[in-house]
């Protein structure tokens, strides 16, 4: 048991250190690099590293029972890293071929604002949900499960997904990646459409008419996603 705990601590330290180095490198690009065209990529690295570190940190603070090395979301899926590589490839290809595109500072600033707003919404949702929040869909109702309908959950039913969607699309707007902006938006929307439908099936099973009535009063939060209806 002690060995497992020590191994977990080492893995957390390695990932945290790596993310810290990425953040520091991004800060250097964003503030100290002579080439202004690379500054938005530095801002992207800061946003990217802080998102993954804060996922683990927020889970540790609000729902430590479900804390694991997976809480960093760094091993989310192969598709996630393929998408990340694709956006890096687009950025540097366009930087080489169409450098003027990366000089659209207002668009890049708008992307940064989207990232900050999305990150804030998601973390507020995680904090307010507390022990009810999990990165995985729960198929068994725990005695501690409660339906949260106040605060940010009184505005949208799935604020954590809204936040993640805004953050995800915002990273590509920040980089002024027109191709990946569209692809990320479409793929993310399809992912959340399927996930919300499945998740709301379990929520209706857990809370019955209490959740159905909540659905009627509060919108999903993402455009053209209805969720599961009975």
Q: For 84-140, what is each residue's pLDDT tens digit?
A: 999 999 999 999 999 999 999 999 999 999 999 999 999 999 999 998 998 888 888
CA-closest candidate to residue 179, choices 55, 114, 86, 97: 86
Residue 1 has pLDDT above 60, yes or no: no
- In contact, 170 and 115? CB cutoff 8 Å: yes
d(CA 140, CA 179): 40
Residue 70 has pLDDT above 60, yes or no: yes
Q: What is the pLDDT of residues 178-214, one digit of tens each?
A: 999 999 999 999 999 999 999 999 999 999 999 999 9
104 located within any domain: yes
Among 16-30, 79-93, 131-145, 171-185, the minimum mean pLDDT is found in 131-145
78 located within any domain: yes
19 located within any domain: yes
Mean pLDDT computed over every residue of the chain: 94
CATH number for the domain spanning 103: value is 1.20.120.1630
d(CA 26, CA 40): 9
Q: Exposed, middle or buried, 104 (CB in 10 Å: 0-12/13-18/19+)? A: middle
CA-closest candidate to residue 192, choices 215, 216, 224: 224
Residue 7 has pLDDT above 70, yes or no: no
pLDDT band for 5, please (50, 70, 90 cuts): low
Count other C-beta atoms under 10 Å from residue 229's C-beta: 10
d(CA 203, CA 196): 10
172 located within any domain: yes
Q: Domain range holding 156?
A: 1-217
The number of folded domains in the chain is: 1
21 located within any domain: yes
Collapse the DSSP code of 44 into the 3-class scheme (helix H, G, I; strand E, B; otherwise coil) and give the result: helix
195 located within any domain: yes
Residue-level pLDDT at 204: 96
Distances (CA, A) of 58 to 120, 144, 167, 195: 12, 19, 16, 22
Q: Exposed, middle or buried, 45 (CB in 10 Å: 0-12/13-18/19+)? A: buried
What percentage of the chain carries pLDDT values higher than 90? 83
Cα Rg of the chain, angstroms: 19
Residue-level pLDDT at 149: 97
173 located within any domain: yes
CB neighbour list of residue 29: distance below 8 Å, 6 or more residues apart: 38, 39, 41, 42, 45
pLDDT band for 2, please (50, 70, 90 cuts): low
The backbone torsions φ and ψ at residue 129, rounded to the nearest 5 degrees and listed phi first, read -70, -30
25 located within any domain: yes
């Amino acid at each position: 048991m002690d060995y497992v705990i020590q191994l977990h601590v080492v893995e957390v330290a390695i990932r945290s250190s790596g993310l810290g180095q990425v953040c520091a490198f991004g800060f250097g690009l964003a503030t100290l690099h002579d080439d202004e065209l690379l500054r938005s990529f530095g801002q992207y690295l800061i946003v990217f590293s802080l998102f993954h570190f804060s996922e683990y940190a927020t889970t540790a603070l609000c729902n430590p029972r479900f804390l694991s090395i997976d809480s960093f979301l760094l091993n989310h899926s192969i598709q996630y890293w393929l998408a990340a590589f694709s956006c890096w490839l687009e950025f540097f290809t366009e930087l080489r071929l169409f450098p003027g595109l990366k000089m659209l500072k207002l668009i890049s600033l708008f992307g940064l604002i989207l990232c900050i707003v999305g990150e804030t919404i998601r973390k507020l949702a995680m904090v307010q949900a507390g022990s009810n929040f999990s990165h995985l869909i729960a198929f068994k109702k725990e005695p501690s499960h409660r339906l949260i309908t106040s605060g940010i959950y009184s505005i949208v039913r799935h604020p954590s997904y809204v936040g993640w969607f805004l953050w995800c699309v915002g990273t590509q707007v920040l980089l002024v990646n027109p191709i990946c902006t569209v692809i990320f938006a479409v793929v993310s929307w399809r992912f959340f459409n399927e996930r919300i439908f499945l998740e709301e099936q379990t929520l209706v099973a857990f809370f019955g008419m209490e959740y159905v009535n909540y659905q009627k009063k509060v919108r999903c939060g993402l455009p053209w996603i209805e969720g599961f209806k009975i």
